[in-house]
Structure 1
Amino acid sequence: MESRSLARTNGYFIICGSEDVLGLAERLANFMSYRKRLGIRFFEGSSFTNVLSHKTAKKVMCFFPLLNTEDSTSLLHGKVFNLTENYYKILKMKKLVAEEGVEGVFVDIDGDFSMAFFSDDYIFALRSPISSKPLFFAESGNNFLLSSDPYAMNSVGIQYNYVPSGSFLYFRLGERRKLLVQNYYSPSKVESFSELDQAVDAVKFALMYSIEKNLEGVRNAALSFSGGLDSAILARLAMEHSNLTLITASVGRSHDLIRAKEVATLFPLEHIIIDINENMLAKRFASLKTVFGKENVMNMSIAILFNLVAEEASNLGLGYLIVGQGADELFGGYRRYVEVVNKDESMLGSALRNDFHDLHSKIISRDETAISMFADPIMPYLNRKVAEVASRIPPKFKVERVSGNRKVALRAVAENLGLPEDVFHYPKKAMQYSSGVQKSLLKTIMKTDL
């Protein structure tokens, strides 16, 4: 069955095997039920259904629809910018793959997405050049599995690999079985900025582009707001494109609570506070542990924060949550980068590239999953143009060797946007610490034996 439409999803998986795969499909679908918004749809090789049949099936596609649209074997997770214009590029690409395979495939589509196309003969999937929508695959025995959610694969004990951002996957079925994962995007090599003002202008316009495109068609959205540099910049830019609500999660009178209240007064926006108590923390930890498994306390703290803020956004009727992931890896926010610069400034670029690659290729699953249980994540820093501009910023405009000042260029962007000195000079605080969540979670775990 072929369809010209794209089914917009909150996640999906596709299984193909030489034997019956219904049992595995059922286990994966049940595990991923936290992604369910408008039900669940299965495609068993010939027809769509809301529940798996008891017949034998060697191919199953499952997705969690976000809209009541036409059933389709073409799946979209995330957002394609300028979809009307790019839709025909997608159809042309799909037709080329169906007729000729992947030789000569050219992808020039921006956004934050993964896409997958399923037919009798092949599976073709790709991720946007920079993407917060992860994609994983595995060959287990005679089965091939493609999934947007690694935790479901963990739950059934399947070892997997990831599809990097800016890459496509092609899996040909049948006797001439073939698997290919290939990069299609590499940032163009452009000369570094010689002046800070040049970098500031370029970063500002790239962020404006990303936010405008990400919020196209989004009337109301929430922003996870700590009052720090990254979220303050996003608040300043995003409020021009959507009715924005700021949400801060905090344990007691944490640093984030005090800081966020102060900085929120700079914006004509509603500011919601989530007061996290011990009972709430224990329940949320127990709930998320069933999804994330044996994660460390830092990762669980971050997941809990995003999950609680996303739930509050959903309760307020806001279907989108903006977060600032990626800013530290792009612009030099972590304290360890100061050590790198002091040893050898020329090594900062590779350290940032490695961290950014790990974030948008693998680590981002934590944040995408925690938020997607309740809202659609929007991550404006994770965008091709923003990343390309950041790659042109020399080390001295990211981390200063003598002062140890970090995110130099991004702080200058905040100043350029009219934010006060108290914002653009304020030191970075890690969210898991500044919110009080990690410290409280450790106490809760020890007290309750979670």
Structure 2
Amino acid sequence: MNVGFCRVTCVIGVACRGHPLIRPLPTATMKEREGGGEPFEVRVRAATGELILSGYRKEGEARSPFVHGYLSGNCQLSHPGDGLSSDASGEFVTSWMEDQALVAVRDHMGCRPLYCAESGGISAFCTDLAPLSELRMNPHPLPQGAVLRLSPDGVAISLPRPIHRTLPFEGTLDEAAEKVWELLLRSLEDRRRNAGTVAVSFSGGLDSSLLATALAKLYKVVLVSVFARGSKDAQSTSDAADSLGLELISFEVGGDEVREALNSLGGKAPFLSVMDRSLAAGFFLASTKAAELGIRTLVAGQGADEIFAGYHRYLEPHSEGLDLIERLRRELPHLESGLRRDECAIAYGGCDASFPYSDRRLAEFSFSLPHSFLISGRVRKVVLRRLARKVGLPSKIADAEKKAFQYSSGIYRLVGPGP
């Protein structure tokens, strides 16, 4: 059962029914973790079998021996069937021993993956797909906000509470933009690293420019751009970085680098479509380049389009007649699979991933806004564009059309149609 894999951090929990597990679990990490801490393995003999939790223990943590990511607020579960409290924020999977069970909890938006599998008297969870797959189990992802209890007697899962519409926001567009800025800064604080420098996956567009501007209040920021020769990003990222006054590290890549990236990610996650492979390759390469510079965190703008109506499809009427807010609310769970893909690619590239837009409070606030604060005429993400102007971004960024990274970087055409 010796499984080799390399990512920034990982935790695995196993429950064995009736017999002990003799060989060791896969190592929790192959790299030095940000913030220190020591690898650990805890074994507990339960009434009907054995429980094992392997991971990385942060100093001073008692009840939660492992937090994969960043957890702010209260994650206390008062009763076995409890779901995740709305007080818990950040991007995390946290796990601990509780009585004769292992407990694992995934954050509200799914910024950190959590997989579960059962086979031959063994139940297991892991924050990475590869170890369970290499153990010849058949892992499946748990939904965002899920609470998992693993014991020798089996698996129990508490499903998440959906994000509901809140009371309608009655302020002006300027006031809404100010509130979004406040919540974005709060999201960054909940994900705060012990790092002097963070990298931003940078396309020169609205979302990544806003993120970089906000992050610059907390850290030294380096913009990282990866693109193919002749792509739109080759020039636009340089112009946008000059406007922001931030350092840009850009890398031109070709087909060989993209194929090597995808080979490195082979078997780590199901990258099936050309779009999935393009995004995964791009984030892996950006993460690799940032890690080579000694940077440990790569921040990306995933979630902004899903929460603030950035996609072109939101301009068209819904086939079932749903209004915009209800459509956003119902489609938000689909964001989770993209976050799993991108977190995996970034982690295997050598950096810790962060997705500050993918925050429950930002989603709840967006769902309280009038339709016109999200879409006005043919203009999408209206409130983010107003915020961009309020924080001093130039109009060429604030008013820029959405640029899908896989196309604007040119990586999509390098990936091609093959698996």
**2:261 paired residue number:** 284
Q: Distance in 1 between matches of 2:20 and 2:239?
A: 55
Q: TM-score, normalised by structure 1?
A: 0.80
3-state SS, counterpart of residue 94 of structure 2: strand
Are 1:322 and 2:299 an aligned pair? yes
Q: 1:184 to 1:420 in 2, by over 3 A?
A: same
**Alpha-carbon spacing, 1:16–1:394, altered in 2? closer, same or farther (3 Å):** same
Aligned position for 1:336: 313
**What amino acid sits opposite 1:429 in the alignment?**
K
What is the letter of the counterpart of residue 104 of structure 2?
A
Distance 1:21 1:198, change over 3 A: farther
* Residue from 188, 191, 202 that aligns with 1:211: 188
Match of 1:434 in 2: 408
For the pair 1:425 / 2:419, whether they are aligned, the reply is: no
For 2:384 and 2:218, locate their aligned partners in 1 and report how far apart those are by CA, in whole Å. Answer: 21
What TM-score, normalized to structure 2?
0.85
CA RMSD of aligned residues (A): 3.2
2:343 aligned to which of 352, 364, 368:
368
In structure 2, what residue type is equivalent to 1:168? V
Between Structure 1 and Structure 2, the one with more helix by share is: 1
- Deviation at 1:179? 1.5
Per-residue CA deviation, residues 150-202 of structure 1 (Å, 9 max, x unaligned), is 3444455544444333342234445xx56231436755722244642332122
For the Cα contact (< 8 Å) 1:282–1:441, is it kept in 2? Answer: yes
String of CA shifts for 1:302-343, please: whole Å, max 9, x gaps.
0111111111111111111111000010011111111236x6
Tell me the equivalent position of 2:179: 202
What do residues 367-420 of structure 1 show as CA deviations (whole Å, max 9, x unaligned)? Answer: 1111112111121101222122111123332223xx422111111111111111
- Counterparts of residues 406-425 of structure 1 (less than 5 Å): 406-425=380-399
Is the contact made by 1:256 and 1:435 (CA closer than 8 Å) also made in structure 2? yes
Letter in 1 for 2:12: F
1:36 equivalent in structure 2: 30
Percent sequence identity over aligned pairs: 26
The answer to whether the Cα contact below 8 Å between 2:202 and 2:223 also exists between their aligned partners in 1 is: yes
- Match for residue 368 of structure 2 among 347, 371, 392: 392
Q: Which residue of 2 aligns with 1:11?
A: 10
Letter in 2 for 1:332: A
8 A Cα contact 1:15 1:21, kept in partner: no
Contact 1:129–1:185 (8 Å) recurs in 2? no
Q: Verify: 1:235 aligned to 2:222, yes or no.
A: no
The aligned runs of 1:37-56 (5 Å cut-off) are: 37-38=31-32, 41=39, 43=41, 45=43
Q: Which of 139, 143, 146 pairs up with 1:164? A: 143
CA distance in 2, matches of 1:232, 1:388: 23
Describe the shift of the 1:66–1:358 C-alpha distance in structure 2 as closer, same or farther (beyond 3 A).
farther
Between 102-111 and 389-398, the greater mean CA deviation after superposition: 102-111
Pick from 264, 269, 274 the counterpart of residue 297 of structure 1: 274
Counting matched residue pairs gives: 404
Deviation at 1:105, TM superposition (A): 8.6
Q: Secondary structure at the match of 2:261?
A: helix
- The alignment partner of 1:310 has SS state of helix
Report the 3-state secondary structure (helix = DSSP H, G, I; strand = E; otherwise coil) of the residue aligned with 2:397.
Answer: helix
How far does residue 128 in structure 1 lie from its aligned partner after superposition? 2.8
State the AA in 2 paired with 1:413: L
1:363 partner letter: G
* CA pair 376-383 structure 1, distance change in 2 beyond 3 A: same
Unaligned runs of 5+ in 1: 1-8, 48-56
Task: Tell me which of 113, 121, 126 is aligned to 2:92.
Answer: 113
- The secondary structure found in structure 2 opposite 1:292 is coil
State the one-letter code of the partner of 2:43: G
- Superposition deviation, residue 427 in structure 1: 0.4
- Residue deviations 1:259-281, cap 9 Å, x none? 10111001232110111022212
Residue 59 of structure 1: CA displacement? 3.5
Partner of 1:348: 324
For residue 410 of structure 1, give the secondary structure of its aligned residue in structure 2: helix
Aligned equivalents of 1:411, 1:338: Cα separation in 2: 17
Residues 107 and 184, structure 1, Cα contact 8 Å, conserved in 2: no
Q: Does 1:80 align with 2:63?
A: no
Q: 1:256 aligns with which of 220, 233, 258?
A: 233
